[in-house]
Amino acid sequence: MQAILSVTVPFFALVLCGWLAARQRVLPEAAIPGLNAFVLFFALPCMLFRFGAATPVDKIFNPATVAVYAGAALSIVALTIALTRGPRLHLKDAAFGALVAAFPNTGFMGIPLMTTLLGAAAAGPMMITLLVDMLLTSSICLMLVQLHGSAHLPLGARLRDALRGPLGNPQPWAIVLGALFSAYGLALPGPLARVVDLLAQAATPVALFTIGAVLWRAGEHARIEAEAEGGEGKTPWGSFVPVALIKLFVHPALVFALGSAAVALGLPLSRFDLTVLTLAAALPSASNVSLLAERHQADNGRVARVILTSTVLAFGSFSLLAWWLGVSPG
């Protein structure tokens, strides 16, 4: 357990540093979107490209891994909507609740954390989870969001709008480009490779710091909006804590159950890959979902609190799960 904490404590401490820096205005609020853009469009794609280029293609596009993780993600989306949608929570907010329940913080936190815990071999299954979350889970949830106010649009238009965000994100393309380099044995020219390496090395600390800053910004904006509408700026616990618990406990339990069944059936899913997938599902909710909720004028206060609650609780729950699964760093 001590070895696991020696890895998880610094990661979550950097998130806390980002939150405190934003809260104390050491990091100006106006700088947070730029910091987020640096990670999203420069540092993280370089890190993903580097992992993709160093990983065998069959480890990035393993059908059994895709099936297990996608099946669990879609089940969590359906379960969360079924449990939360009602007279006081319309489809748009239920869909965003489902997205934060099924979409872990794989890019900004998961891949660097998992490769530190389990080694570079964890990058392959982690990239699969990122592709599934971005191209499938988020697209379906955004289609449901659009049904709330755009039911009159044809299905093709709603699908196109839902895919515009994921396909415009450089992370999937970085993985695909890296996989092509891996498949054909290509390599970047020396100076360009060095630039990519430098940006990739910046990804982990800056991404973790940015998570904290984005969490503070989302919570602050939600509080200000609620107060402007005459409320107290507080979201009832019952509207966000259950969703955070689904993310941290139900999601990894379902992945582990489906993965264990796949292993028992003889599908090409190793115990190592199952451990990676289970831990990926146990990560806190993706922080950038709050930016999507803000853009779609959803209840960002609820979304922000799910993300914050899952991030705070994940320090303990993730570490305990890694210990239970027998993870031994280094």
> What does the pLDDT look like over 261-296, one tens digit per residue?
999 999 999 999 999 999 999 999 998 898 888 888
pLDDT digits over 121-156, tens only?
Answer: 999 999 999 999 999 999 899 888 877 665 555 666
pLDDT digits over 86-117, tens only?
Answer: 877 888 889 999 999 999 999 999 999 999 99
pLDDT digits over 298-328, tens only?
Answer: 888 889 899 999 999 999 999 999 999 999 8
Share of the chain above pLDDT 90, in %: 72
What sign for the dihedral angle of Cα 177, 40, 307, 235? negative
- Residue 195: other Cβ atoms inside 10 A: 13
pLDDT digits over 218-249, tens only?
Answer: 888 777 777 766 655 567 888 899 999 999 99
* Residue at token pair 């939360």: 84
pLDDT digits over 166-202, tens only?
Answer: 777 899 999 999 999 999 999 999 999 999 999 999 9
Distance CA 113, CA 11 (A): 7
Rounded mean pLDDT of 23-30? 95
The structural domains of the chain, with segments of one domain joined by +, span 2-324
Pick the CATH number of 2-324 from 3.10.450.50, 3.40.50.920, 1.20.1530.20, 1.10.10.10: 1.20.1530.20
User: What does residue 273 show for φ and ψ, rounded to 5 degrees?
Assistant: -60, -40
